[in-house]
Amino acid sequence: MTRKQKRLSSIFAILFVVGAAFALVLTALSDSVAFFNSPTDLASHPPVEGQRIRLGGLVESGSVERGTGQAVRFRVTDTVESVAVRYAGLLPDLFREGQGVVAEGTIGPDRVFVADTVLAKHDETYMPKEVVDDMKARGLWKDGTVVAREAAMPEPGASTPASAAGGAGL
């Protein structure tokens, strides 16, 4: 074997070893990667039981139930769908109903999201980019605020322009 052939075979051997090591690292990390999902995504494409995911959205108003100790149950919504979440631990100080939240965990056998980490927004203008993008795509986010679907529908018994004009147009 010539010197040039030895050098080429050494380079190919090194590239093969580095490529194999890279493939092993990617394979090992693929199990710990947590993908972002909205409640609508989970409803339309349910993950495999035990698959680690990140769930993002708004804490649904009236859904927070505190149990014994640090146990808490709440619902995360994107104003289209909502997902029940169970969490045992200290919640962030800024966690409250109607605010943005990202929970990391798995879907349990009862289809309840079991969170092991809950992250809340840290100031008045922050919401996770993925949540904002998802809500913009659905037409539920405008100028930094959530456009609630219920806002387009008047409250029962509320005054509408037609009723305020004495029933004109009926």
Q: Are 56 and 37 in contact (CB under 8 A)?
A: yes
pLDDT digits (tens, 9 = 90+) for 14-70: 999 999 999 998 888 776 665 678 888 888 888 887 788 889 888 888 999 998 888
Domain ranges of the chain: 1-32, 35-152
| Dist. CA 79–CA 82, nearest whole Å | 7
Cα angle 45-50-52, degrees, rounded to a multiple of 5:
75
> Does the pLDDT at position 140 exceed 80?
no
Q: Given this model, what pLDDT does residue 75 score?
A: 94
- Separation between Cα atoms, residue 100 and residue 151, nearest integer Å: 19
What whole-number distance in Å separates Cα of residue 78 and Cα of residue 39?
Answer: 6
More confident residue, 133 or 75: 75
pLDDT score at 11: 96
* Most confidently predicted of 92-101, 138-147, 149-158: 92-101
| Domain 35-152 falls under CATH 2.40.50.140 | yes
Residue type, position 61, single letter: S
* pLDDT at res. 132: 73
For residues 62-85, give the mean pLDDT: 90
The model carries a pTM of: 0.58
pLDDT, tens only, 86-136: 999 988 888 888 888 889 999 888 889 999 999 886 544 556 676 677 777
Is residue 158 pLDDT above 80, yes or no? Answer: no
DSSP-assigned letters across all residues of 62-114: T--EE-STTEEEEEEE-SS-EEEEEEESPPPTT--TTSEEEEEEEE-TTS-EE
Task: Tell me which amino acid residue 17 is.
Answer: V
Q: Is 69 left (phi over 0), alpha (psi -120 to 50) or beta?
A: left
Could you tell me the pLDDT band of residue 152, with boundaries at 50, 70 and 90? very low
Give Cα separations from 65 to 68, 80, 105, 166 (angstroms). Answer: 10, 21, 19, 44
